[in-house]
Amino acid sequence: MSTFCGGSGGAIVNVSSMAATIGGRPGASAYAASKAAVDCFTTGFAREVAAEGIRVNVVRPGVVVTEMTHHIARDSALRARVASSIPMQRLGRPEEIADIVLWLLSDSASLVTGAHVDAGGGGFMVGSLR
């Protein structure tokens, strides 16, 4: 258990997107901008509440197989194209993102605040894919 001044502590984990780092795919600039706002808020809020023992971090997934990306996951040719644009050559799984969130919420991450954790398989280069 960590020691701190002020409040009783806690942890907040926001979820953004790797899209915030590249402006999104064509037609998704508003989505990317909203995720960039989450990143910026996380950084600022982490500083504001640190003295209360509250940690604030953000996880930025890349392409993860979810309902939002079902069109990629169900189209084998598109899925292969997207996977080939990711250094780890694969899409993420929801439980991989959940594991990162759980770690950031745990006491094992007691010194981590204001962090932007990229979980995109090594990069996010699907800017030209629709």
Q: Give the burial class of 9: count Cβ atoms within 10 A of its Cβ; 0-12 exposed, 13-18 middle, 19 or more buried.
A: middle
Q: How far apart are the first and last CA of the chain?
A: 46
Of the residues 4, 31, 41, 45, only one is catalytic, namely 31
> Does residue 31 have an active-site annotation?
yes
Residues labelled catalytic: 31
